[in-house]
């Protein structure tokens, strides 16, 4: 996972408190007429994902899908190499047949 940092703010506004991640309000009242920053933190995407079970499950599904794609890619590459070897063998066999006919 990337170690990029994301800003988390606890804002106190006239209408009440709110929490922002990267300037996006995720909960609480919109601070109409402005607000003040009560607390400010830096966190990682990994920490945010780990805090939300649905995102953790989704990340695991994506990782599993990526593993399957890699396996399929490896299988296709292996099949391709086998086909190339088979074609080369057949070409050699044909060349030997032609030479024997002369």
CB atoms within 10 A of CB 34: 8
Three-class SS state of 23: coil
Least confident of 28-42, 68-82, 87-101: 87-101
Query: Are the C-beta atoms of residues 27 and 18 closer than 8 Å to each other?
Result: yes
More confident residue, 91 or 56: 56
Strand partners, 16: 13
CA atoms of 37 and 31, how far apart (whole Å): 11
Q: How confident is the model at residue 100 (pLDDT cuts 50, 70, 90)?
A: low
Residue 1 has pLDDT above 60, yes or no: no
Q: How confident is the model at residue 32 (pLDDT cuts 50, 70, 90)?
A: confident
Q: Quick one: how many helices (H) and strands (E) in the chain?
A: 2, 4
The whole-number pLDDT of residue 61 equals 94
Parse the chain into domains and list their residue ranges.
Answer: 1-51, 52-102
The string over 88-102, giving b where at least 16 C-beta atoms fall within 10 Å of a residue's C-beta and e elsewhere, is eeeeeeeeeeeeeee
């Amino acid at each position: 996972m990337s170690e990029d940092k994301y800003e988390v703010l606890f804002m106190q506004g006239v209408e009440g408190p709110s929490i922002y991640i990267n300037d996006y309000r995720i909960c609480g009242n919109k601070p109409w007429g402005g607000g003040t920053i009560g607390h400010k933190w830096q966190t990682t995407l990994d920490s945010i994902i780990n805090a939300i079970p649905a995102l953790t499950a989704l990340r695991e599904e994506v990782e599993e899908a990526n593993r399957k794609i890699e396996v399929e890619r490896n299988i296709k590459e292996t099949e391709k190499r086998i086909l190339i070897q088979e074609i080369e063998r057949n070409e050699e066999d044909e060349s030997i047949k032609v030479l024997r006919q002369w």
